[in-house]
Amino acid sequence: MGIFDSGVGGFTVLRQVVKTYGDVPCVYIADTARAPYGEKSPGEIRLIAEEVVQWLSEKNVSALLVACNTTNSLALDVVKKISNLPVLGLIQAAAEMIYEDRVGVLATSATVSSLAYTKEILLNKPNTFIVEQACPKLVPLIESGNLDTDESRKLIHEYLRPLLAAKVQAIIFGCSHYPLLEPLIQELLPKNIRMIDPAVGLSSNISKVTGLNKVPNDIKLSYRNTRVYTTSSPNTFAFRAVQWLGEIPSVELISLRSKSCFF
Ligand code: DGL
């Protein structure tokens, strides 16, 4: 499985994959040199997607998991054009998970501007009321690893406020980084609001395109078959992996910049 994101956000997808199918071989790219993607222009996001997918397609993976909503929003066509592999995204998976009438989406600025979530949800459930909230400060916060602070709570509260005012019944983590904030968000949300992690739906869909068998849900998670590649500071990234996966994987430095070196 080839999994890619700008940083640690894709771990939320990797975690679900391993939880669902066991320690399957995965190649994980964290393009940390260019994170956050969510504040870049659509043109930059599309060019970056091209480079990442070209690199991953040469890695003998069975499917591509777009573990980044920003890429999913603005460059899914690019990903599908470059690769002959099955491509699975988070946004369609999320839309399939919704049964509520009033839904909030927390996402990056680029994802929110694209309205990709609103469009996909309305395709499935045309009468849904949707409110999208951009959260530009969350990815840098999560990448810093320093989450459990009053500042973080204040920030999350600010971003949740419009969704609560709109009386949503469910909130989608429309950026793969945000499930890492789930304990903090849970503290601030009324119990009757459901949190939706699109990675759960995406993982479940993998068996339909790869024939992988699901494993019992009480297995101990292990990532021995995951190879991690990053575009900057492999040591820092290995440290983050321990924080989120509980294991220290081998992390290799790669360079993906070809056309996008002017960003
Ligand atoms: N985790 C990615 C997403 O789901 C990218 C976030 C970013 O780099 O801004 O959108």
**b/e 64-94 (16+ beta carbons within 10 angstroms → b):** bbbbbbbbbbbbbebbbebbebebbbbbbbb
* pLDDT for 34: 95
Residue 259 has pLDDT above 70, yes or no: no
How far is the C-alpha of 160 from the C-alpha of 106, rounded, in Å?
A: 8
Residue 90 has pLDDT above 80, yes or no: yes
What atom of ligand 1 comes closest to residue 67's alpha carbon?
Answer: 4
* pLDDT for 262: 47
Active site residue 135: no
- Say if CB 252 and CB 227 are below 8 A apart: yes
> What confidence category does residue 89 fall into, taking pLDDT thresholds of 50, 70 and 90?
very high
The Cβ of residue 154 has, within 10 Å, a number of other Cβ atoms equal to: 9
> What confidence category does residue 258 fall into, taking pLDDT thresholds of 50, 70 and 90?
low
Q: Using the mean position of ligand 1's atoms as its centre, give its distance from the Cα of residue 169 in Å.
A: 24
Structure tokens at 61: 């993976």
Q: Using the mean position of ligand 1's atoms as its centre, give its distance from the Cα of residue 193 in Å.
A: 23
Which amino acid appears at position 135 of this protein?
C
pTM for this prediction = 0.96
Edge to edge, what strands does the sheet with 2-5 contain?
A: 87-89, 64-66, 2-5, 26-30, 226-230, 251-253
- Pocket around ligand 1 at a 6 A CB cut-off: 5-6, 9, 35-38, 68-70, 108, 111, 139, 175-177
Q: Using the mean position of ligand 1's atoms as its centre, give its distance from the Cα of residue 48 in Å.
A: 13
- Cα–Cα nearest to 94, from 84, 106, 81, 79: 106
> What confidence category does residue 218 fall into, taking pLDDT thresholds of 50, 70 and 90?
confident
How far is the C-alpha of 176 from the C-alpha of 145, rounded, in Å?
A: 15
Structural domains of the chain sorted by starting position, each given as residue range(s) with its CATH number in brackets: 2-89+201-253 (3.40.50.1860), 92-198 (3.40.50.1860)
Mutate to test the pocket of ligand 1, among 34, 52, 108 (most ligand atoms within 8 A of CB): 108
Mutate to test the pocket of ligand 1, among 6, 39, 44, 106 (most ligand atoms within 8 A of CB): 6
- Among residues 26, 68, 135, 261, the one annotated as catalytic is 68
Q: Using the mean position of ligand 1's atoms as its centre, give its distance from the Cα of residue 152 in Å.
A: 18
What atom of ligand 1 comes closest to residue 10's alpha carbon?
Answer: 1
* pLDDT for 249: 80
pLDDT > 70: percent of the chain? 98
Which amino acid appears at position 49 of this protein?
A
Active site residue 26: no
Q: Using the mean position of ligand 1's atoms as its centre, give its distance from the Cα of residue 60 in Å.
A: 25
* pLDDT for 33: 96
Residue 22 gets the label, from left (phi > 0), alpha (psi -120 to 50) or beta, of left
How far is the C-alpha of 24 from the C-alpha of 93, rounded, in Å?
A: 21
How far is the C-alpha of 209 from the C-alpha of 211, rounded, in Å?
A: 6
Mutate to test the pocket of ligand 1, among 105, 177, 178, 237 (most ligand atoms within 8 A of CB): 177
> What confidence category does residue 132 fall into, taking pLDDT thresholds of 50, 70 and 90?
very high
Residue 149 has pLDDT above 50, yes or no: yes
Residue 212 has pLDDT above 80, yes or no: yes
Structure tokens at 100: 């509520």
Mean pLDDT of 171-185: 98
